[in-house]
């Protein structure tokens, strides 16, 4: 990447990096994979546990974190003749992780998988779905076209 912030020694990303803050929420592999399952349509506790390959206690802890962080929400549901149970649904905050998961899938497809797995396709035209780097004005770009700039942190009060 060109245009790194200058002078490089005058700042550090440690305490104010949005990537770091995102990873404080998405703490580990199983968190990402539970979110993947939610996108794939999984809603029930036992399906999350089985499909990600986690023990019940770990599944419970991770799902609780995802609810506490606002990525999933729990709701009651009841099938005819059965007792009330709970299911998990993506919130807006959780749904907004889709580009991150698609980006990981795209990288894994290219570098770590032999063409197996599942594929996302555009319903309209059937073409494979991926992520692209674009600027807010709509220009497609790659790393060489970007520069880093410091954003001013909002401060509380005078």
30 contacts: CB under 8 Å, gap ≥ 6: 52, 54, 58, 62
Q: From the list 34, 49, 52, 72, which residue makes contact with its own copies (rule: CB under 8 A)? A: 52
Q: From the list 32, 55, 74, 157, which residue makes contact with its own copies (rule: CB under 8 A)? A: 32
Q: How far from 27 is each of 18, 21, 32, 51, CA to CA, in Å? A: 14, 10, 8, 19
Smaller CB separation from its own copies, 30 or 60: 30
**Phi then psi for 74, rounded to 5 degrees?**
-95, 140
Identify which range of 22-30, 59-67, 80-88 contacts its own copies by CB under 8 A. 22-30
Q: In the structure encoding, which two tokens stand for residue 51, read together?
A: 């499909």
In angstroms, the first-to-last Cα distance of the chain is 37
Q: In the structure encoding, which two tokens stand for residue 71, read together?
A: 């990525």
In the region spanning residues 53 to 82, those forming contacts with its own copies, defined by CB under 8 A, are 53, 70
Smaller CB separation from its own copies, 74 or 96: 96
Q: From the list 81, 122, 157, 158, which residue makes contact with its own copies (rule: CB under 8 A)? A: 122
Least spacing, CB of residue 59 vs its own copies, in Å: 14
7 part of the interface to its own copies, by CB under 8 A: no
Total number of residues binding its own copies (CB under 8 A)? 93
Identify which range of 11-19, 55-63, 79-87 contacts its own copies by CB under 8 A. 11-19
d(CA 65, CA 25): 8
16 part of the interface to its own copies, by CB under 8 A: yes
Q: Which of 120, 150, 145, 126 is nearest to 135 (CA)?
A: 145
């Amino acid at each position: 990447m060109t245009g790194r912030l200058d002078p490089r020694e005058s700042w550090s990303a440690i305490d104010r990096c949005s990537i770091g803050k995102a990873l404080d929420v998405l703490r580990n592999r199983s968190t990402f994979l539970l979110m993947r399952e939610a996108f794939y349509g999984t809603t029930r506790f036992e399906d999350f546990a089985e499909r990600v390959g986690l023990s019940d206690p770990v599944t419970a802890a991770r799902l609780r974190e995802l609810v506490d962080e606002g990525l999933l929400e729990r709701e009651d549901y009841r099938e005819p003749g059965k007792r009330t149970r709970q299911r998990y649904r993506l919130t807006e905050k959780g749904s907004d992780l889709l580009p991150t998961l698609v980006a990981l899938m795209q990288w894994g497809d290219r570098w770590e998988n032999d063409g197996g797995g599942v594929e996302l396709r555009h319903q309209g035209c059937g073409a494979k779905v991926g992520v692209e780097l674009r600027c807010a004005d709509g220009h497609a770009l790659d790393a060489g076209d970007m520069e880093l700039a410091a954003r001013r942190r909002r401060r509380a009060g005078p």
